[in-house]
Structure 1
Amino acid sequence: MSLTLDSHRLLGRSGLRVSPLALGTATFGTESGWGADKDEARKLFDTYVERGGNFLDTANTYTDGSSERQLGEFTRDHRESLVLATKYTTLRRPGDPNSAGSHRKSMFASVEASLRRLNTDYLDLLHLHVWDFATPVEEILRGMDDLVRQGKVLYVAISNTPAWQISRMQAIADLRGWSPLVGLQIEYNLVNRAAERDLIPMAREMGLGVTPYSPLAGGLLTGKYRRADLTATTAAPGESTRKSFNAGLGMVTERNLAIADVVKEIATELGRTPAQVGLAWTLRQPGVTAPIIGARTVEQLEGNLGALEVEFTAAQSARLDEASVIELGYPHDLLASDHIRRVTRGDLKIEARG
């Protein structure tokens, strides 16, 4: 069944209602080399909100702070009806070791700076952006809980962190009565399904709503890449720096292009764009609350929003799954094997929890 931006979903085990596609604002500003200028960013914001969207994602260092500053201006007349999510942990001042990381000093300073740039008294959702392998989890959780108790943050979430750390943190928060994590932001798309091994099952079990970033694999699923891009590491005249960036990262592989080919085939069958098909697949995966879409132009945004209307046949879903399938690895492949089923269940009929 088709969706609309005002077909709200609950974020994790909270009562927070969010749109099924979040608007990512890492493109608000041109400092990264491929973003939108302020006038175009305003059009992107207005288009999303006018279509019924309420979920906006940014971070403290996106486009050197321009993303938050522009959102602070754009949201001035809509603040109460919008869900503003930002992040902390990335380096804010080169050379200052305490201007980055998950620790309390970094967290509080970053939140205060984000509140000023966003021109708001509170953040709806604060993510830990990148795990730093240094800060004790109790320090992180207690700091987040203090911010919630102060009213500066309403909900807390996490991104780019090992599944075992997140599940440990959620258990500690529950036992100590601290604010639980309600969201998990991860890279997840047809090209990169690694989150299916542990992160997404953990999120479903522990009550975190999944908000995937890069649902189009950095643009690889838009149909713009060709076999000639397999060896390209620099941009040809007229090409975007983002395309050469992805090529330089090694994302343009034979496997990934083969997945993109299947996406294009199904897009042709449905009369849709490859981007809409790639987004729709992520949007409809179990455990996913709201993929984060980014755009540089209103035309791109309108095209991405068309993913809400895409419906696959069972055969088409199976083709996408088969083209992009990954090995789950140990112990998941072992536990799913016929041998383990025979030695643990035999012929017993046992219905698993939904």
Structure 2
Amino acid sequence: MLGQIGCRPWSSALPDHSSQPAVDQEQEERHKLPDFIQSWETYKNYTSRHRTFTGHADRKATINILKSRVPASRLQKDDDPEQTTISTDRYRLEIDQRGILGHGASGYVYPGTLSPLELEEAQDVAVKVSHHPHVLWEAQLMDLIHGDHLLHYLETVTIPQPEDDRAANGLVYAMVMPRMQGTLHSWAARSPSGEEPEQRTRSAMLQMWEGLVQLHAQGFAHRDVKLANMVYRWNETGDMHILLSDLDRATPAREVRGGAGTLGYLSQEILLDQKHDPMSSDVFAMAMSFLELVSSKMSADRDFRMLVWKSVVDAATQSRVEATLLELFGSSLSARQAGLLAKALCEQEGEDAGSWMRRITAREFLGELRGMMDSGLW
């Protein structure tokens, strides 16, 4: 049963530790915190203050409405003990419990097959299963937010789990999405080399920013941008298509109160608990994610990624961030490339000590990046 699967230890061929805040003593000694955070205990206190905050005053009420509308399903007899099969009046869904495609705060993602009853063709899908109805909020946002670089969903449904003590009213919630090839984090960690992968990397660099531009243009902040929350698939021409995913923390920017995100991608203003523009904090996190495509070491070596993050937030000003990036990445970055990234990684301009300026927007970054690529400078 799915409830039993949810209790299994997380494992995968390529574990993604970026979604888990590190708070133990060993991590404290290895990575150290930015200078303005006194201890890991301070960081844990920060997360406990903000983790339960929804960022949207009406989220709970909206989820209650969605719970009353989500379709129910029926369990079907299945001879395979590692598979759960359900059906509704419109489709049959087989969920393969042998493999886990991903996981996050709101649930586990399993491979599955969706078969509409009126069609003979079946579709490979990914099924996010959760004991909590927050997954319905994520699906609702996917209905509101549209873009060719934003992931969408296909179905939501409840699944009977009468023997699962964690299932409220004997039900778990599921969101069905198109099956992707994997996360951009896993792709970047494989360290592609050669001319064709370099072209794909440049395309991925543009597409990840295009997804954020599309999200921001509709008034929403993502609030947990990282490569692990971007997925890709191969299209008919063999090109990579990137989509921004995991919208469970996304919120209308004007309604955000408090901070959210993952350690290693949090901007200075969130760490300092200052009033901030959540879209600007998204830009910081996207720039940190972007660096993982600049150097595969950022994805493959968590120690190095944490060192880069700590160094950037400590540097604070644009001129110091630019110098820090050049020192850390060497020949992987030119001065002009580092200068563009510095605009996305800090709000305070280097020559205007004490004068706080807005961070470059996602649209502005994308425009400058595209211009540099067209000119052969990236």
TM-score normalised to structure 1 length: 0.26
| Structure showing greater relative contact order (alpha-carbon pairs closer than 8 Å, 6 or more residues apart) | 1
TM-score normalised to structure 2 length: 0.25
More strand by share: 2
